[in-house]
Amino acid sequence: MKMLKDKIVFISGASSGIGKACAELFAQAGAKLILCARSVEKVQEIGNALKAQYQTDTLALQLDVQDRKAVDKVVDDLPLQWKKIDILVNNAGLARGLDKLHQGDVADWEAMIDTNVKGLLYLTRKIVPQMLEHKLNGHVINIGSTAGILAYPGGTVYCATKAAVKFISDGLRMDVVDTPIRVTNIQPGMVETNFSVIRFHGDQQKADNVYDGIEPLTADDIADIVVYAASAPAHVQICEVTVTPTHQATGGIVHKEKK
């Protein structure tokens, strides 16, 4: 973990779930954190707690990655000591709805496409040139999904956005192959966070049913892999990691214990 001491890590969607867990593990490893989320109060609170616990610097910023101008402004306005971002964790993302495509809600699709695909692109487009300009051993870590490998019923648009994350990761890796920048795509299966609550528009019962009878992954399980990839030696690029609970084979093939 010595590799991560004083590195500057930018995490989108850092107010909960995988983003928050990554913040904690990076702080533990001595990295400095730029924590972004739509709710600045939440990232402020997380940042202050990590600062107190691990004596590391944190900067909390309000950001909705769907807003391209806001992405540009947040990065342009970074204080001088925060400008050299070593690691970008493109974590902000969501699933909305589990409807058949022909019955789906267009607003749900737009939220997923604008956050999972366009938001990730905006941040990457803005930050990678700066990594190059500052001659950093930069690292872009995208949070993809097993949904990006194989579609499942009702997940069409969500799966398509995560397939886009896979191909953006693969394409970017080719585009920066002649630079020190590394690109990693982490593809988790079922992780119990507020993911399903958001998918089902706040219906806790429906969300709980998703994880009933199976031990899902936790946000910490994923953060462990993110930090592992980030702390590999500079000549080692972890391109892709697919990780599922033991009783999940693909998005749609899950073994549940009957109660």
- 13 is an interface residue for ligand 8X3 by CB under 6 A: no
158 a catalytic residue: yes
- Per 3-state DSSP, the chain is made up of helix, strand and coil in percentages (nearest 5) of 45, 15, 40
- 156 is an interface residue for ligand 8X3 by CB under 6 A: no
Catalytic residue among 158, 166, 206, 258: 158
- Interface residue with ligand 8X3, options 56, 142, 145, 185 (CB under 6 A): 145
Closer to ligand 8X3 at the Cβ: 4 or 98? 98
Phi-psi category of residue 202: left, alpha or beta, with phi > 0 → left and psi -120 to 50 → alpha: left
- Interface residue with ligand 8X3, options 147, 186, 222, 238 (CB under 6 A): 147
Whole-number minimum distance, CB 150 to ligand 8X3, in Å?
9
Closer to ligand 8X3 at the Cβ: 101 or 177? 101
Nearest-angstrom CA–CA distance, 122 and 118: 6
184 touches 238 (CB < 8 A): yes
- 22 is an interface residue for ligand 8X3 by CB under 6 A: no
- 140: helix, strand or coil: strand
Total residues found in the chain within this entry: 259
- x/- binding map, residues 190-209, to ligand 8X3, per CB under 6 A? x-------------------
Sheet holding 87-90: strands in order across? 58-62, 32-37, 8-11, 87-90, 139-143, 182-188, 240-243
Catalytic residues: 158, 162
Q: Which spans of this chain sit near ligand 8X3 (rule: CB under 6 A)?
A: 145-147, 155, 189-190, 251
